[in-house]
Amino acid sequence: MCGIAGILGVTDPEQAERDVRAMIERITHRGPNGIRVESGPGWCVAHARLSIIDLEGGWQPLHAAGSTIIGNGEIYNYLELAEEFQLKGKLATGSDFEPLLHLYAQEGEKAFERLRGMYAFCLIGCDGRTWLVRDGFGIKPLHTTQTEQGIAFASESGAFADELPSPAAEAVEQVLALGYGIDDISGRWIDRQSPGLVTRWNAEGEIAGFGLLDWEAAGRPPPPNDDKAALQALDAILEDSVRVHQRSDVPYGLFLSGGIDSSAIATLMSRLNERPVTAFTCGFDAPEARDERGAAERVAKALNLDWRETTFGEEDFWRIAPQVANFLDDPTTDYACLPTYKLAEAAKGTLTVVLSGEGGDELFGGYGRYRRALRPSWLGGRPAEPQIDAPFLKDGGAAALARWRQTAQAPTDYTPLQQAQYADIVTWLPNDLLLKLDRMLMAHGLEGRTPFLDREVAAFAFNLPDRMKVRGKYGKYILRKWLERHCPAAEPWAKKKGFTVPVASWIAPRAGDMGPRIAGVQAVAETCDVEAVRAVFTDPDQAHNRWPLMFFALWSRIHLEGAEPRAALSSLTGDS
Hey, what's the torsion of the CAs at 199, 202, 207, 213, to 10 degrees? Answer: -20
The pTM assigned to this predicted structure is 0.96
The residue among 497 and 126 whose pLDDT is bigger is 126
Backbone angles phi, psi at 191, to 5 degrees: -115, 130
CA–CA distance, 183 with 181 (Å, rounded to integer): 5
Residue 148: pLDDT band (50, 70, 90) is confident
Closest residue by Cα to residue 464 from 261, 265, 237, 240: 237
Q: In the chain, what are the helix, strand and coil shares in percent, each to the nearest 5?
A: 45, 15, 35
**pLDDT greater than 60 at residue 117:** yes
**pLDDT greater than 60 at residue 384:** yes
* Identity at 274, one-letter amino acid code: E
CA–CA distance, 304 with 487 (Å, rounded to integer): 12
186-242 pLDDT, tens digit per residue, is: 866 888 999 999 999 876 666 677 676 566 665 677 888 899 999 999 999 999 999
pLDDT over 90 percentage in the chain: 84
* Structural domains of the chain sorted by starting position, each given as residue range(s) with its CATH number in brackets: 2-211 (3.60.20.10), 227-385+416-490 (3.40.50.620), 503-573 (no CATH)
Closest residue by Cα to residue 560 from 293, 258, 240, 171: 171
The residue among 33 and 495 whose pLDDT is bigger is 33
**Mean pLDDT, range 274-300, rounded to an integer:** 89
Residue 79: pLDDT band (50, 70, 90) is very high
The residue among 378 and 508 whose pLDDT is bigger is 508
**pLDDT greater than 90 at residue 21:** yes
**pLDDT greater than 70 at residue 178:** yes
Q: What is the 3-state secondary structure (H, E, C) of 489-512?
A: HHCCCCCCCCCCCCHHHHHHHHHH
Residue 575 has a pLDDT of 84
Would you give the distance in Å from CA 568 to the centre of its chain?
Answer: 25
Range scoring the smallest mean pLDDT among 124-138, 213-227, 342-356? 213-227
234-254 pLDDT, tens digit per residue, is: 999 999 999 999 999 999 999
**Mean pLDDT, range 430-436, rounded to an integer:** 98
Q: Are 54 and 65 in contact (CB under 8 A)?
A: no
**pLDDT greater than 70 at residue 493:** yes
Q: Show the beta-strand stretches assigned E in 409-492.
A: 447-449
**pLDDT greater than 70 at residue 500:** yes
Between strands 197-202 and 34-40, the pairing is unpaired
CA–CA distance, 562 with 494 (Å, rounded to integer): 47
Residue 380: pLDDT band (50, 70, 90) is confident
CA–CA distance, 524 with 542 (Å, rounded to integer): 17
Average pLDDT, the chain: 93
Q: Are 423 and 410 in contact (CB under 8 A)?
A: yes
**pLDDT greater than 70 at residue 499:** no
CA–CA distance, 410 with 196 (Å, rounded to integer): 16
CB atoms under 10 Å from CB of 229, counted, come to: 11
| Terminal Cα distance for the chain, rounded | 38
Q: Are 40 and 125 in contact (CB under 8 A)?
A: no
**Mean pLDDT, range 483-503, rounded to an integer:** 89
**Mean pLDDT, range 312-333, rounded to an integer:** 96
CA–CA distance, 23 with 248 (Å, rounded to integer): 28
Burial pattern 320-345, b for ≥16 Cβ within 10 A else e, equals bbbbbbbbbbbbbbbbbbbbbbbbbb
Bridge partner residues of 8 (DSSP): 43, 151
Q: Are 338 and 320 in contact (CB under 8 A)?
A: yes
**Mean pLDDT, range 334-349, rounded to an integer:** 97
**Mean pLDDT, range 546-569, rounded to an integer:** 97
Burial pattern 382-406, b for ≥16 Cβ within 10 A else e, equals ebbbbebebbbbeebbebbbebbee
**Mean pLDDT, range 550-572, rounded to an integer:** 96
Q: What is the 3-state secondary structure (H, E, C) of 177-216?
A: HHCECCCCCCHHHCEECCCCEEEEEECCCCEEEEECCCCC
